[in-house]
Amino acid sequence: MALDKLTGDTSMLFIKSEQFFDWARARSLWYLAFGIACCSLEGLIAASGPRFDFDRHGVFFRGVPRQADVLITAGTVNYKMAEIVTRLYEQMPDPKWVISMGACSNTGGPFREYPNVFLGVDELVPVDIYIPGCPPRPESVQYAFLELREKIYAQTGERLEARRING
């Protein structure tokens, strides 16, 4: 039985446990090793190296979507890739987050004139954080994870407030 059924969803025990789980999630964000175009090499693979040391933030890459919390859409999303991006997102367990990386993923970038390119990956999956640039620096990717962490902390309060209002 879920804890909120046992103790009530306004109990201190339940609220503290929710806050603890979100704190743990925010500090172990595992992203899917998946790249679409040059952004994945220029920013994401460089970011995974020892120089930037993402491990200290609890950020690691995983090879399968079922073990990943974060999908980073790094590159130009065209119609051919749409099904793959959507399928990978759906295979990830909840809760999950999406970081759109680079001008192409955000808006189509330099390829937005082409008829087979999406003008933003948010047409396919819900995006939590956008990283600007072409290509973004690894530091930008790092900053995006720190922002995502803050967003998860903020969502804890919103989620608990919504439960209180909805009873």
Residue 109 host element (H or E): none
Assigned token pair, 113:
């004139």
Q: Least Å distance between CB 118 and ligand SF4?
A: 12
Residue at token pair 């959507």: 86
**Per-residue interface string for the shown chain with ligand SF4, residues 53-72, x marking contact by CB under 6 A:** --------------------
Instruction: With contacts defined by CB under 6 A, name the span among 3-11, 34-42, 44-52, 151-159 that binds ligand SF4.
Output: 34-42
Q: Least Å distance between CB 4 and ligand SF4?
A: 43
Q: Can you point out the beta strands (E) in the chain?
A: 30-32, 60-62, 70-74, 97-101, 129-131
Q: Is residue 124 within 8 Å of 117, Cβ to Cβ?
A: no
Using CB under 6 A as the binding rule, the residues of this chain from 117 to 146 that contact ligand SF4 are: 134-135
Using CB under 6 A as the binding rule, the residues of this chain from 77 to 116 that contact ligand SF4 are: 102-104, 109-110
DSSP symbol at 136:
P
Q: Where along the sequence are the contacts to ligand SF4 (CB under 6 A)? A: 37-39, 42, 75-76, 102-104, 109-110, 134-135
